Structure 1
Amino acid sequence: MKNLLLTTAMAFAMITPVYAAGTHEGGHGHEKAEAGHGHAEMAAGMPGKADDVSRTIDVTMRETDDGTMIFEPASFDFEQGETIRFNVTNMGEIEHEFVIDDVAGNAKHKEMMAAMDMEHDDPNSVRLDEGKSGEVIWTFSNAGTFEFACLIPGHYESGMHGPITVSETQASAETVLAQADVEYTKGTIKKVDAEGGKVTINHGPLVNLDMPAMTMVFRADEAMLAKMSEGQEIEFVAEPVKGKLTVTQLK
């Protein structure tokens, strides 16, 4: 059985010649470091912290009698913001790996691995010999459809991949809808008082506040004021904050 599986996988792998060997460390735009630190966020999310894990899922990797290679479960559904611990066990007879990425990212790295015999060493993956176990802790910070896969040459083609669906949380959806309903007002900045935390704007009607066009002084936080300069044409949203008219959004 093991020889049959190796022969099948090698048949796929030989489509592209092997040029070199190495460890694929940081190949997904990450630097290997403590989980949750020092990693750029990927489309599929980012490394999670053990303290933030909301649930743990057991994943097995194995081969079937007909030579197919599979993950169990075959798909996942999460909510945006969830941090998941994947307990991964290789119950097969040959080496396998578990990699999280989007479909395009997996396709790119599958091609790289077909051209070069290398091993992933990234926080979004774990590679295991037969009978071994490991884990991946991952935060799904973005909504969308992603993929988990084994990118060892020939394994993906033998069935080792599945979808990850991350649904937008209700709070995120409500925020998007609220932002879509906001009506921006056009104006010209007359004066910026960074020290006083104020900005003077000659503006059109403030529809959300039922106020006519005029020149007014608004409050603004430091980050907002840093984007402003005298004479600048802007579109903004002003709202009462602690009894003071405050610029809350700017574009």
Structure 2
Amino acid sequence: MKNLLLTTTFALVLGAPAFSAGNHSGGHDESHADEHAEMMVGRPGDAASVDRSVDVTMRETDDGDMVFEPATLEIAQGETIRFNVTNAGALEHEFVLDTMVGNEAHKEMMARMDMEHDDPNSIRLDEGTSGEVIWTFSNAGTFEFACLIPGHYEAGMHGPITVAENVTQNDADFSTGTIKKIDAKAGKVTIIHGPLPKLDMPAMTMVFRADEAMIAQMSEGTDIEFVAERVNGKLTVTAIK
């Protein structure tokens, strides 16, 4: 009888369901939390190493859609981003970072059982509240942010994340110039510059877009070596040295 009980117990352990990486209230075992150390979409970020902050708002529209603002995200490979997430809607929402395949699998799982995400790549917020997710995008590719609460994804609550490959710039791509004016609030910098070889443009004075981290390294009146490219149709400083 003793041997029979031991054999039955062992069989039950082997037959227990194994969940994918994650730690969800009422769903996933906490022992899998370490598997989040590295995912296709990246890994949890260090607050001391944040490169820039991105504000994300979740809400419902008057016509019944559910949306994120902004609707798309563009990140550079290796960047650590602090997402300041606000639920400005009248319903509970969540912000989850993953591959499209990963989000689809979790969405189907959530539709089958009552579970709530409690992972470093996500945050769930009641209406009128805010929080943050700090994430390092270590891999280039196209990923997704989404709300996986049943029905919300289908109502439009998802968007693509494009993580651009980190390519070393050639010295020939850099132009020289002098910073004339900085408008940090607008994310713009005016540069008196020489020819721009990547854009086939002559020397002149122009206004460029630049992200918060780039502008933090600039000072008015100083000389600069920079690369300018068109990003979403706007002239943008993409590298400096």
TM over 0.5: yes
Any conservation in 1 of the 2:25–2:118 contact (CA below 8 Å)? no
Q: Is residue 147 from structure 1 mapped to residue 150 from structure 2 by the alignment?
A: no
Instruction: Name structure 2 gaps, 5 residues minimum.
Output: 1-23, 171-241
Cα distance in 2 for partners of 1:107, 1:26 equals 20
Cα distance in 2 for partners of 1:79, 1:47 equals 16
1:136 aligned to which of 133, 139, 142: 133
Any conservation in 2 of the 1:24–1:121 contact (CA below 8 Å)? no
- CA shift, 1:117, in A, is 1.0
Partner of 1:30: 33
> What amino acid does structure 2 have at the position aligned with 1:119?
E
RMSD between aligned residues: 2.0
> What amino acid does structure 2 have at the position aligned with 1:166?
V
1:204-238 deviation digits (Å, cap 9, x = unpaired): xxxxxxxxxxxxxxxxxxxxxxxxxxxxxxxxxxx
Any conservation in 2 of the 1:90–1:129 contact (CA below 8 Å)? yes
Cα distance in 2 for partners of 1:53, 1:25 equals 29
Cα distance in 1 for partners of 2:107, 2:52 equals 29
- CA shift, 1:30, in A, is 3.0
1:147-199 deviation digits (Å, cap 9, x = unpaired): 0000000000000000000010113x99xxxxxxxxxxxxxxxxxxxxxxxxx
Larger Rg: 1
> How do 1:1-251 and structure 2 match up within 5 A?
22-24=25-27, 30-31=33-34, 39-171=36-168
> What amino acid does structure 1 have at the position aligned with 2:158?
H
Classify 1:50/1:22 alpha carbon distance in 2 versus 1 (closer, same or farther; 3 Å).
closer
> What amino acid does structure 1 have at the position aligned with 2:85?
V
Provide TM-score, normalisation by structure 2: 0.57
Any conservation in 1 of the 2:77–2:163 contact (CA below 8 Å)? yes
Any conservation in 2 of the 1:101–1:148 contact (CA below 8 Å)? yes
> What amino acid does structure 2 have at the position aligned with 1:114?
A
Cα distance in 1 for partners of 2:127, 2:72 equals 22
Q: Equivalent pairs: percent with the same residue?
A: 68
> What amino acid does structure 1 have at the position aligned with 2:119?
D
Structure 1 stretches of at least 4 aligned residues deviating more than 4 Å after TM superposition: 24-27
1:107-163 deviation digits (Å, cap 9, x = unpaired): 000000000110000000000000000100000000000000000000000000000
Cα distance in 2 for partners of 1:26, 1:166 equals 30
> What amino acid does structure 1 have at the position aligned with 2:33?
H
Any conservation in 2 of the 1:90–1:130 contact (CA below 8 Å)? yes
Cα distance in 2 for partners of 1:146, 1:93 equals 27
Instruction: Name structure 1 gaps, 5 residues minimum.
Output: 1-20, 32-37, 175-251
Provide TM-score, normalisation by structure 1: 0.55
> What amino acid does structure 2 have at the position aligned with 1:115?
R
> What amino acid does structure 2 have at the position aligned with 1:88?
V
- CA shift, 1:40, in A, is 2.5
